[in-house]
Chain A
Amino acid sequence: MADSGIQGIQAIQDTQDIQVRLRGALARILDLTVNQRMSVIVDSPPGAGKTELIVSVVWVLALRKKLRVAVVAPRVSQVYDLCRRLGSVGPPLSIQVLLASDRALPTDLSSNPVMLEPVSRARDIDPRARVVVGTVSKFFSALPDFSAGEFELLCCEEAYMSAYKDLAPLLKLGRTVMLVGDPGQLAPLVRVDTGPFESMETKVHWAAPRQLRLSFPWVPVVSLPASRRLCRDTVSIVQPAFYTSLPFVSAAPDATRRISFSAPSSGDAIDRALDLSAEGASIVALLLPGREVSSGGVDLEVATLMAEVATRVLARGAEWTGRRRIEPSHIGVMDAHVAGGASVRRALRALDISTEEVLVDTPERFQGLERLLTVVKHPMSGKRALSAFDLAADRWCVMLTRHLLCCLIIGREGIRETLEAHSHDCGERPLGAEDALWQGWFTHSTLWAELERLGRVVRM
């Protein structure tokens, strides 16, 4: 009792300490961007409050300093989300969205009084607009109509998803620039062979912050020290595997990240996995017997198991302890293959679970989203030979960092063996380039070994 009491006090102190550190990071960024008028790159772990940080900086500049700010994001959904958060402060802030002419603002935004009518051309921007928000590509196409230094600050959300070639031309818009992103997650998609460009002095196909750090080494980089979304257990697994150069801790007190079940466990493998999660294991793998599956991406048994796990979570009356009952809309299901996702949807419908509520999609679509509980398919499940797609670390990182409470990995036995037997490609990577495939393999191996060491692998 005494020990647990001390641990409790320690946990509170830790939490307070983390909050102080988070506040310190915010203060540092405000000092750099607002007081010192400096450009800054912010490296953030998943769920550290990137959007909140941008909102804070924008509010200070726009409302306190009465300056104009531009905010860009790679996707339109992120733009809408930014507008919702920025607009929550109400007038006198005025926000205008630079939007393709064939798009309309969602109704919740268009009805917000801080939102001005969206425009598709830069020259139509309302002079009253203190904050202009848009996608990187929309700003890019509108760029010739802007003048240099038109904004005090250019903010970029999810900057690691934008290539230098797309973002660099926008830099001139702001007198200073703030790039905020998660270095461990999905890299920008460049569809052509980038091998010939790896030897160039400026790697325009790289994620913008990565290249900017090389081009402008004097630009300060601030790392956010904690994740608000991920619990301590998840951070202890994910951080060493995916973020070797970005140390961070969890800002979520353990007591606020518990899952519990009202119905008793049947003792079968699915329930054992769920019971582990109730005991505080926030990442648990559940494996079917090993069997090679052709690489088409569809494994019906695994898809069925994923659906069964989601169903069981609901059937056992899962609850975010002390907060709320877990509903289908709190569950996210991820499969890296679209075809695999379709088979999971079918399996869910067969179990009377609405796929309108349970979001089933690829990690690409889940980037930036979070759910209380996620069910993800291990990309190496049933594989004998591993492709570059299977080995990619960024996609796997997204899959393992979307949950608040628990992530259940579903697959087939033999993952360690497949990783051990993998024959590394030694010839394809461009000369002098980093070996991303090795990095992916190493990350997968480290993470899986850790799960096995922690006894987090439940076999059917």
Chain B
Amino acid sequence: MSLKGARGIVAVSQNAGCELLAAMVSEQVEDLEFYTRLAGPYPGEYGERASTMRRGKQFERVLYAQKGSRRAFALCETLGPTFGYQPQAMRVLDMREIEGSSVLETADLRLRRTRQELQSLRRGEPVAHVILQPQLSLSVAPGDTRFVVPDALVLVTGVRPERQDMYMPLEIKSCIVCRNLADSSSKDRARRQAAVEVLALTQEARRYGLYERVRNRAAFVYATPRGLTPTPPFIEDLYAETAEVNRALTVLREAGNRLSELRRANPGPLESLTPQLQTNYIDRCKALCALASLCKQEAAPRAAVLGDSASAVLGSDTELSRLIELLQGAQPQSGYEAQLTPQLLEAAAGLGYLPAA
């Protein structure tokens, strides 16, 4: 999985306690490649499937398609009713039409165009209702600015007389929502990604005095069970997510400093610094990082391998063998053990393994 751009920040926010992950993101290292450097070929499968990627692209294509004599965007039909616009009357600024001679130049051109639109908004001039694939930038650390590309920005009209129109990030996800249920890991990723976009938009908005207008809020369009038909947009507050992403940005800054510090003694590649970087194995790691199996091995003697829920009650750093000893009658050695032991015994009795304490 790529740890560049918004994805890396999202990954760090999902496990802010892992120094190694933050270091990988900070150095923009691909985790799968890094695994190979550390431990040889990756066993098993990792990353997105071709079929999933195809569907994602197809879904976007359907929403970005223009239909009818007025060439209205399909996306506008989805967004219009919720945002209070006539779909046919919605103006769309399609950044995909702006191409430079290189990836960087394209990004730069699109960023400028996005900023122009924000400036126009500040001046109260007419602006696009939807900006497709706008370019934003987010300063992560001094000298580390990342491009952030929401699927779209949608104009949210404020209340007169004091107009507070402002854009809101929109994420388009091709995963299927059925009975209002979507896979929680998909929702988690989408919300965090949108939170990165909210923060990037906030930074951009600050340049033009629009800061006050940005809300911790984004819209999400998913797919219905019926082929590539979109759901109406879900508009969600993202306070928790922006807090998590802000924490990730702090962790990334700290990781950069820590790496600089370590490199003073060892200027080698990241893998040579790995032993000095802490890992934090949690349930989510398997879906998050190619190194999960290595970290699990490292965590093997501790309660962390029994899962987050077990870690929460047993203490993630507690040695499993020590817990077994306590169950077998060993004397508690600390206040924590003294308090934990009766509960262990009672639970084991509840499972029919030991006489009740």
Contacts and interface: CB of A to CB of B under 8 A. Distances in A.
A–B contact via C-beta, under 8 angstroms:
yes
A387 B312 CA distance: 9
B244 A424 contact: yes
B339 A300 contact: yes
Nearest to B247: A423
Interface stretch (B93-101, B119-127, B131-139, B187-195): B187-195
A198 B182 CA distance: 13
B180 A198 contact: yes
Given A423-B244, A427-B191, A435 B312 contact: no
A198 B311 CA distance: 31
A298 B339 CA distance: 9
Contacts of B315: 292, 294, 384
A296 B313 contact: yes
A335 B197 CA distance: 41
A241 to B, nearest CB: 16
Interface in B24-47: none
Given A424-B244, A426-B192, A427-B184, A435 B313 contact: no
B339 A294 contact: yes
A438 interface: yes
Interface in B290-335: 308, 311-315, 335
A309 interface: no
Interface string B209-253: 000000000001010000000000011110111011000000000
A425 B235 CA distance: 18
Contacts of A428: 184, 187
A293 interface: yes
Nearest to B341: A294
Contacts of B312: 295, 384-385, 387
Given A426-B187, A431-B220, A438 B182 contact: no
Contact of A291 (B185, B236, B336): B336
B244 A431 contact: no
A426 B240 contact: yes
Contacts of B187: 426-429, 431
A432 B235 contact: yes
Given A299-B339, A300-B339, A427-B191, A432 B184 contact: no
A437 interface: yes
Contacts of B336: 291-294
Contacts of B180: 195-200, 430-432
Contacts of B182: 431
Contacts of A385: 308, 311-312
Tell which of A200, A294, A299, A387 has the most Cβ of chain B within 10 Å.
A294
Nearest to B188: A427
Tell which of B180, B186, B188 has the most Cβ of chain A within 10 Å.
B180
Task: Tell me if A's interface is mostly helix, strand, loop or mixed.
Answer: loop
A425 B308 CA distance: 13
B184 A437 contact: no
B52 interface: no
A146 interface: no
Contacts of B191: 426-427
A320 interface: no
A425 B313 contact: no
Nearest to B192: A426
A432 B236 contact: yes
Contacts of A243: none
A118 to B, nearest CB: 42
A296 B342 CA distance: 10
B16 interface: yes
Interface in B263-282: none
Given A196-B181, A427-B184, A294 B239 contact: no
A381 to B, nearest CB: 13
B54 interface: no
B240 A435 contact: yes
B86 interface: no
A441 interface: yes
B345 to A, nearest CB: 11
Nearest to B180: A199
A432 B182 CA distance: 11
A414 B32 CA distance: 38
Contacts of B234: 431-432
Contacts of A432: 180, 234-236
A295 B313 contact: yes
Contact of A438 (B181, B185, B239): B239
B240 A291 contact: no
A268 interface: no
A384 B312 CA distance: 7
A195 B234 CA distance: 14
Contacts of A108: none
A391 to B, nearest CB: 11
Interface string A412-430: 0000000000011111111
A298 B177 CA distance: 41
A151 to B, nearest CB: 37
Tell which of A198, A300, A426 has the most Cβ of chain B within 10 Å.
A426
Given A296-B343, A429-B187, 6 more contacts: A198-B180, A298-B339, A385-B312, A426-B192, A426-B240, A427-B184
Interface of A: 195-200, 291-296, 298-300, 384-385, 387, 423-432, 434-435, 437-438, 441-442
7 contacts: A292-B315, A295-B312, A426-B187, A427-B185, A427-B189, A431-B220, A435-B237
Which 9 pairs of residues, A with B, have the shortest CB-CB distance?
A427-B188, A199-B180, A424-B240, A427-B184, A438-B240, A432-B234, A385-B312, A196-B179, A296-B343
